[in-house]
Amino acid sequence: MVAKILDGKKLANKILKNLKKEIELLGAKPKLVIIQIGKNEASEVYIKRKINASKKIGIICEVLNFEQSVSQSLLEEKIQQLNSDSTVNGIIIQLPVPEHLDILKLQAMIDPKKDVDGFGPINLGNMFLGRNLLLPATPAGVLKLLEEYKLELEGKIALVIGRSNIVGKPLSILLLQKNATVILAHSKTKDLDKLCKLADFVFVAVGKPNFLSGSKIKKGAVVIDIGINKIKVGNAEKIVGDVDFQSAFRVAYYISPVPGGVGPLTVASLLENTLLAYKIQKGLISR
């Protein structure tokens, strides 16, 4: 048996095409502002993808660059300014940010109606209570992928490995909403191998190449790889996920590849949120 592929790129293109149509009908261009602090190789790549996808569908995407040493107060001032700028519909702070900054405070300052990453306490709190609106893009993208392939979560054991604020924690809540039995594992979890063998769905977001191999997975499980790692192969560089694809491919029922799995859906979900934020701000949707 070999696994079926969950084609995130194809689904993302379908979502982007629909967004483009909707934005054309709107007759106005929503605007997303990305706050970039310092230089980070991965962030550069992610931001480029966000810019390119925005351009394709008619979203204005502006990047504000700040020095690595930028002060907390200057960023707070900037966020306040963007909050009160009615031409700005979405604001995100590209992560990671330098250690001297209080990122949670900055995220909390973003107007919840413009918080298109869904990382602020109001949007996360609403999600926690089952009132979904602006959801974190990667977990939302994962759910879209499962829905597209009609993979039913109800009553299933869903193992999430990695408890970050932007992926693992919110994903576990969304899976719970779908009536999965959720196990949230992390670096201190004991007997992870045992848990893997129980899981009908495994979601891996730890940022380590080859973290999960096929031998650890229950036969017929659905494997969702949320890692994006750059590795060296000879002189060349290659992007791989957290799953050893070759071995997992022979054991899983469905598997998401890297690249071409969850990554493109993160971008599509972010832009979907930007359009949603625009509609909320214009009173086209009530929240």
Q: Which of residues 40-79 bind ligand GUN (CB under 6 A)?
A: 46
- The reply to whether 177 belongs to the active site is no
Q: Characterize the bridge pairing of strands 60-66 and 4-5.
A: unpaired
CB-CB neighbours of 6 under 10 Å: 26
Q: Is 107 in the site for ligand GUN (CB under 6 A)?
A: no
Q: Which amino acid is at 7?
A: D
Which range touches ligand GUN (CB under 6 A), out of 93-101, 141-149, 177-185, 193-201? 93-101
Q: Characterize the bridge pairing of strands 236-240 and 229-233.
A: antiparallel
Q: How far apart are CA 160 and CA 192, in angstroms?
A: 11
Q: Using an 8 Å Cβ cutoff, are 262 and 141 in contact?
A: yes
List 36, 54, 123, 138, residue binding ligand GUN (CB under 6 A): 138
Q: Using an 8 Å Cβ cutoff, are 135 and 51 in contact?
A: no
- Closest to ligand GUN by CB, 11 or 93: 93
Q: Which of residues 248-287 bind ligand GUN (CB under 6 A)?
A: 266
Shortest distance (Å) from residue 16 CB to ligand GUN: 17
Q: Is 166 in the site for ligand GUN (CB under 6 A)?
A: yes
Q: How far apart are CA 287 and CA 278, in angstroms?
A: 12
Q: Is 225 in the site for ligand GUN (CB under 6 A)?
A: no
Q: Which residue has the tokens 């949120």?
A: 273
- Closest to ligand GUN by CB, 72 or 246: 72
| Cα-to-chain-centroid distance, residue 82 | 23
Q: Is 26 in the site for ligand GUN (CB under 6 A)?
A: no
Q: Which amino acid is at 110?
A: I
Q: Is 94 in the site for ligand GUN (CB under 6 A)?
A: yes
Which range touches ligand GUN (CB under 6 A), out of 4-12, 72-80, 91-99, 184-192? 91-99
* Burial tier of 19 (Cβ tally within 10 Å: 0-12, 13-18, 19+): buried
Q: Is 117 in the site for ligand GUN (CB under 6 A)?
A: yes
List 5, 51, 95, 108, residue binding ligand GUN (CB under 6 A): 95
Q: Is 137 in the site for ligand GUN (CB under 6 A)?
A: yes
- The reply to whether 50 belongs to the active site is yes
Q: How far apart are CA 50 and CA 37, in angstroms?
A: 16
Assess whether the previous peptide bond of 96 is cis (omega < 30° from 0): yes
Which range touches ligand GUN (CB under 6 A), out of 90-98, 142-150, 218-226, 274-282? 90-98
Binding interface with ligand GUN (CB under 6 A): 46, 92-95, 117, 137-138, 166, 266
Would you name the residues annotated as active-site residues?
A: 50, 94, 117
